[in-house]
Amino acid sequence: MPPRTCPCGLPAPYRDCCGRFHRGEAAPATAEQLMRSRFSAFGVGDEAYLLRTWHPSARPPRLDLDRRVRWVRLEVLESTGGSVVHTEGTVRFRAHYLERGKPGEMEEHSRFVRLDGRWVYAGALNG
């Protein structure tokens, strides 16, 4: 059963926020929306959405999400470009998780590009 509140951190129900992207009813309009929807996909275990929104040049052949990791909170730290008028953008974020009940976090500066009019994850930036 999907969560009631969206895992991405915005104050909206999952079904109306990232759930609509996961179901294919809409596409994220900005790089940050895509990044948030990908975080939510990790949270709900939607491997197909993660693969679908990964740039083909960097996409792994498959994903095996670790079910012992529960993604619990997202902080967007910074974003550049990535609006409805851009073709590239970056989002730096901190993702909080629980692994076997122990809290952890990871930080990434991600790059996003438009491919055929849709935002896709192009990988992590160095530094």
pLDDT over 60 (residue 6): yes
Strand-pair category, 102-115 with 69-81 = unpaired
pLDDT band, very low/low/confident/very high, at 3 (cuts 50, 70, 90):
low
pLDDT over 90 (residue 2): no
In percent, how much of the chain has pLDDT > 70? 97
pLDDT at position 51 is 98
pLDDT at position 79 is 96
pLDDT at position 127 is 55
Q: Cα–Cα distances in Å, from 98 out to 7, 31, 61, 80, 85? A: 14, 26, 26, 29, 36
Architecture field, domain 18-124: Roll (3.10)
If you average pLDDT over residues 109-123, what whole number do you get? 97
Instruction: State pLDDT tens for residues 46-104.
Output: 999 999 999 999 999 999 999 899 999 999 999 999 999 999 999 999 999 999 999 99
pLDDT over 90 (residue 1): no
Q: Where are the domains of the chain?
A: 18-124
Q: What letter does residue 48 receive in the DSSP assignment?
A: H
Closest alpha carbon to 36 in 89, 85, 79, 76: 76
If you average pLDDT over residues 9-14, what whole number do you get? 94
